[in-house]
Chain A
Amino acid sequence: MDALNGLMDGFATALTPMNLLYACIGVILGTAVGVLPGIGPAMTVALLLPITYNVEPASAFIMFAGIYYGGMYGGSTTSILLNTPGESSSVITALEGNKMAKAGRAAQALATAAIGSFVAGSIGTALLVAFAPSIANLAVKLGAPSYFAIMLLALVAVTAVLGASKLRGFIALFLGLAIGLVGIDGLTGQNRLTLGIPLLSDGIDIVVIAVAIFAIGEALWVAAHLRRRPVEVIPVGRPWMGKEDWKRSWMPWLRGTAYGFPFGALPAGGAELPTFLSYVTERKLAKKPEEFGHGAIEGVAGPEAANNASAAGTLVPMLSLGLPTNATAAVMLAAMTGYGIQPGPALFEEHGDLVWALIASLFIGNLLLLVLNLPLAPLWAKLLRTPRPYLYAGILFFASLGAYAVNLQWFDLALLLFFGLLGLLMRRFGLPTLPLIIGVILGPRLEIQLRQALQLGEGQWSTLFSEPVAVIVYVVIVLLFAAPYLTRLVRRTPQEA
């Protein structure tokens, strides 16, 4: 097997002392920012993008992978101990997890979340090894029309499927596409939308956009609404589980994984739907359904596993097609571009060593998280009490530093403030941030594919439908739009009959 050889090489790279150190830093940093309110893995990776100037790509991605998985762990700690989840993927965990914590079973809730995340993360990463290379193999053969269609699908899916309001999703998406237009057009060398400012000719750096939207926008929004009462954190000792807890947890872990991975791997995946489905399933299958709503361990085990499995699934389109479907993946792809590595189906062939080192480090990071985080849980609980003025002053400080370090000019800080205010506006009016970021990243690539497709097709629009894969993807896009109406029809029919 090619994949197994690649994976072995990957382990050889990831297990060098230096890279193990990066993995450790990654998982600890990731868990910390996952625990801390107002800052998440996407923003942390964005802030760390300056390290790509001086650190080997493999080491950087090993650290980013640790941050990515660590962020998932940290998020569950917050929702169990604080009951105010910041990330939509942890909302479901808070339902039962916080009830368990209030009933004095915080240690068991954290344990089932941590071990469930480990199980789901390991299985999910194994599935990633199984699927990603073959998908990439198929995708390499696709031409511009198919690739254009697939990117379109990713944009539409992220925008229309996730989030409450499609209108707001599309506004965010097109604002992102507009931001992506700024700069020199690659094919004609003409300035577009630069207002004659030479500094804008290279386009707006994705680091600046990501940090502004995620960090500055969030900090300003929190500042406008800062909770005036002190937070109530439930104290916790070292997580552990009794025999009964294990018996009740292992099936939900596996079922959660089965929900999470496929949803994560789909272009519109996300973790909301699989965590919700897992919760509903566990409630239905539970031997004591009356416990749900009062702290049932199954309601933590299943959704947490689903959450982590979907995180692993997200890496399938990212590594095999170069398509980001969540914010962290989007920023990691930006980091790849920073190294001059073109994300896309050719990644496995051209940079196999890097990709396999990243995948191997996911296995390692997952184990590190389990080993480190069970004993460290009380420390993470303490972290939740960080005085808020310092927390947000720190976020603004590092955000400014990260943006300033890109080009060492004040102009980037001005852009940071400008887009930070945009991020604030978006939160005020309920515009989702993910479609905007994905629009900024995919917009320019989408344009190039479209123009290349039409170049080869000599300007005939019909060329976009010249490949079977493209046609199938367009059908899927139409179905995505029609799905809500179709389900309404189907639901109505039995009643009328």
Chain B
Amino acid sequence: MRGRGFRQVWRRLPLGCESLPCLRGWALGGLWACASLFVPNFAFAQEESSAEAVATPAQTADAIPQEVLERSFADRPTERFPETVYESVQPIESSSSGFIAVPDRWRMFYAGKWYDPYNQNVLKGDIPVFGAPGEEWFFEASIISDSMFEAHRIPVPVGSASTKRPNSNDVFGDGDQTVFQQNVITSFSLIKGDTAFKPPDFELRVAPIFNFNHVEAEEDGLLKADPTYGSSRSDNYVGFQELFADIHLANLSDRYDFVSMRGGIQQFNSDFRGFLYNDNQPGARFFGDYDDNKTQFNLAWFSRLDKDVNSGINTLFNDRHEDVFVANAYRQDLIALGHTTMFSVIHRADTAGNQGYKYDTNNFLVRPTAIGDQLPKNIYSTYFGLGGDGHFGRINTTTQLYYVMGSESHNPIAHEQVNINAGMAAQEVSYDVNWIRFRSSVLWASGDSDPYDGQATGFDAIFENPNFAGGDLAYWQREGLPFVGGGGTNLINRNSFFPNFRPTKEMGQSNFVNPGLRLYNLGVDFELLPELKLVTNYSYLQFDQTATLEVLRQDGSIDRNIGWDLSAGFLYRPLLTNNVVIRVGSGVLIPEQGQENLFGNQTNYHAFTNLILQY
């Protein structure tokens, strides 16, 4: 997000846009509108600084040797630091010993323009913006534009009350759709402490996110409950990706082992690959490390916000009525050198069942799920996790095991309170041969073989965002599949592979009476060029147990075999940095018997392109 290196300095940071409405105005107008707000202040700051420079010449330009202000690197044009610079210490007189005196260590390097994140830049926290010596405050700003266009085919029903076309004689309709998502994520941090050498003492971060989304479908009644809305939908949303304060509580050693507390909306990933909980949610997290950073730990509580269903962004600020409690620890070099092992206990209390019916903005029922008897439910589940990530010699590996226990106060498929007793296991092993990486992954998420036995043995996560066995390149992980004919819900959701009958991952509740999954994957990644990577995946998918599918579809012969999920994608970074990233990917799901039982013998596909620009 921020470039390393050299920055330019202003006497004061032109924070013309600290307030939220102003920031919102920024993004709505786009980057250049932002700049137009920004530049006049900048100009003003420059003028003001110049005036001060005249008033106090001895402290600034006159005191700094010309060779400091006008250093020239062999491969770069001469760039000049502003004459008015931040003064933390008086500059050292130049000596005859060949050393060049600089006023502070933030100006030892090359100064860049304000839009240049790769040189010393006050907008990237490279140079303090205020504060006494030793008490410096830094400012960091970033902006990311993430544009995604996707075409896909998913099984969809024709409208029940009205159809787009005549002769729609069967339940399944035309599932071709296109999706455009534009996210602009802005981030502003105020940081106390030198971030280059030690953890910051204090940080305030605000990261508003602005979304525009557009979907074109081929059937009515899919995008809004009212079929007369049609088959095209545009929507937008603004929320906070991050909004937190981080307090450095103490250093535990002279190597900066530390403990910190972070409160507010913050990103947290429960494990190496996002199997269980990977979200940005308000909470309080006590974290730190010791033993030379070989051990890291988190103690956290998150009180989740509900999300906007079309953008996936946190609402401002509707309670999801779900609390997540996390205790975890990572230990480096455990089992083998270069292998980090993680232990975690995560508890979730979802009490949305006390809140009555919840509809999303498209007027679809999302809580309780429109399956089974649809009585409301609360969920209390505790996960015990053991994970590993690293390498054994030349073999890279990632492992994750979860066991979950607890209860659902009333499972709609089971029609009763159920005891949760489920698990998942996943492992990826890879081996690099020159510029080619060979990968093999397996995942098992337990399924429920008898919905009516009072035991819920289907594994489900809290808010997963898995990056495994192809991640969002793979059809089964990327796409949400409506459970046509089985209720007003989805079989799986976007960015997930657990078939759990949630209506949306964003708003629906977990469900531990589900079919579970078996995933077998082979992948090969090719580093074709330093800038270009090709990722390929070949996966075979099975339901672990089909009983729940048979109950909901009132069909006694649904096969376990889902089919082949084949995908390939290019990752192109033309500048060899993350400032410009282009992803292009495509996948198909070739049905086997089980999917044909559910959705027919059509081969479903997706193809997407993703442009990420970052400052």
Do chains A and B interact in one complex? no
